[in-house]
Structure 1
């Protein structure tokens, strides 16, 4: 779904508001394997995934690449650390499959937020949805077994399981790829 279709599925915008939003978000195509930003960046960009899959990752103290989150179609991602706290973002963003992204500088995003009242409501809904997803993930890592985390992931993010490399899925679940293979073998 393209950006304008998506925002109108949540909140109704008039034609002028849609045109302003559409013009502000630039469309970019990124091939599989593109690193949008490295960890420890100060990216001022907001990304909307129209088509494709983006992985949020960090490098742990041992130098290992760890998947923190996945963003598929109709999701936004940005560096909260950079745009709100002026700190380096520990997370990088990598394109896992050919992707069409809509990208805007945060300053322009904030201008839309100030000028278009329904956009504020839309952003609030998006933020609450992301907060819920991160809360669910934290709960999962703290209180669920590896098998329970895998079941939750397959029940709720089956499309990502089919599209992301298994090593990235295992990393996201907080398990080794070997453990993931054992769990999948039991199913």
Structure 2
């Protein structure tokens, strides 16, 4: 989904605002496997995924753990860097050839003040991201591995075709062997 189509599906903008937004968000292309942000680095990049699949991940005890998946029509941003002036513990990786539209938060903030509709759209987008976090937290706390798998497939219907099974297993907080057993039941 293209950036302006997404934004205008949520709020109404003037033609001039659309032009300003389109010019401010730069197009970036990444190949499958590319790192967009390295773990423990600083970035102020606010991204909208127009095409492809990204994952956020971190390292724990030398293991690569997938935190979230972000696909077409999703916004993501390194909140620790932008709002707390801390390095971002999560890396971002393209799992497919991907096209994102990116803007530095320092450039976006003044636009939000000038365009109340854009500010409202980012409020809605923030609620959507917060909801994804809540769903994952609830699934980790209250669901069995099989229920977590079903929740993931509901949220990301094509994820099994798009992401490596090891990354899916780490996202679910299970071993790859457990994932294979769950998938065999279906």
TM-score, reference length from structure 1: 0.97
Question: Which consecutive aligned stretches of 4+ in structure 1 deviate over 2 angstroms post-superposition?
Answer: none
Structure 1 equivalent of residue 9 of structure 2: 9
1:23 pairs with 2:23: yes
Q: Within 2, Cα distance between the matches of 1:26 and 1:129?
A: 23
The whole-number CA distance in structure 2 between the counterparts of 1:21 and 1:83 is: 20
Residues 3-53 of structure 1 show CA distances to partners (whole Å, capped at 9, x for unaligned) of 001100111111100001100000011110100111111111111100000
Structure 1 portions without partners, runs of 5+: none
Determine the C-alpha separation between the residues in 2 that align with 1:82 and 1:70: 20
**TM-score scaled by structure 2?**
0.98
Cα pair 1:54 1:93 within 8 Å, conserved: yes
Structure 1 CA distance, aligned partners of 2:40 and 2:93? 14
Match of 1:177 in 2: 176
**SS at structure 2 position matched to 1:158:** coil
Contact 1:72 1:160 in 2 (8 A): no
Please give the root-mean-square deviation of Cα atoms over the aligned residues, in Å: 0.8
Aligned partner of residue 28 in structure 1, secondary structure: strand
Comparing 135-144 with 159-168, greater Cα deviation is found at: 159-168
Q: Give the secondary structure class of the aligned counterpart of 1:43.
A: coil
Kindly state the Cα deviation for residue 115 of structure 1 after the two structures are TM-superposed: 1.1
State the number of aligned residues: 186
Give a deviation string over 1:103-157, Cα, whole Å, max 9, x none. Answer: 1111011111111110110010000111111001000001111000001111221
Say whether residues 1:137 and 2:136 are aligned partners.
Answer: yes
Taking the aligned partners of 1:177 and 1:113, their CA distance within structure 2 comes to 43
Q: Distance in 2 between matches of 1:161 and 1:12?
A: 35
1:65 alignment partner, SS class:
strand
What secondary structure sits across from 1:27 in the alignment? strand
1:102 paired to 2:101: yes
Tell me, which stretches of 5 or more residues in structure 2 are unaligned?
none
